[in-house]
Amino acid sequence: MKKSERTYLSRVADLGCIVCNNLGYENSPAEIHHVLSGCGMGQRASNYDVIPLCPTHHRHGGNGTAIHAGQKSFEKNFGSELDLLLQVHLALGIKILEEYSK
């Protein structure tokens, strides 16, 4: 992993859990979740296509709460991975391509 990727991942994690923030809970510690949307089977997103999620929203919360317990129900409750990724990019001040934000 390049230094620029480590720095970026640290900035993303420092935002805290994006779902908790959207629910009004601030300062929730976050793990890095690589966005799966748009990736083929067995492929992982780049280290720049990540969202910060707390352990509950990432792995431990069960179906409807944790993305790895059921992505469809997670996205129904909290928004799509791409919507959350866009929100992360905006929070970090990253310029979004017009075609991406549609």
* Total domain count, the chain: 1
Stated as kind and residue range, the H or E segment containing 77 is helix 71-78
Quote the CA–CA distance of 55 and 32 in Å, as a whole number: 10
Q: What CATH number is associated with residue 56?
A: 3.30.40.190
Tell me the per-residue pLDDT of 47-76, one tens digit each, with 9 for 90 and over: 889 999 999 999 999 999 999 999 999 999
pTM metric for this prediction: 0.85
Residue 43 has pLDDT above 80, yes or no: no
Tell me the per-residue pLDDT of 77-88, one tens digit each, with 9 for 90 and over: 999 999 999 999
Find how far residue 81's CA is from the centre of its chain.
Answer: 6
In a domain, 76, yes or no: yes
Average pLDDT, the chain: 88
Domain span at residue 78 reads 3-91
In a domain, 97, yes or no: no
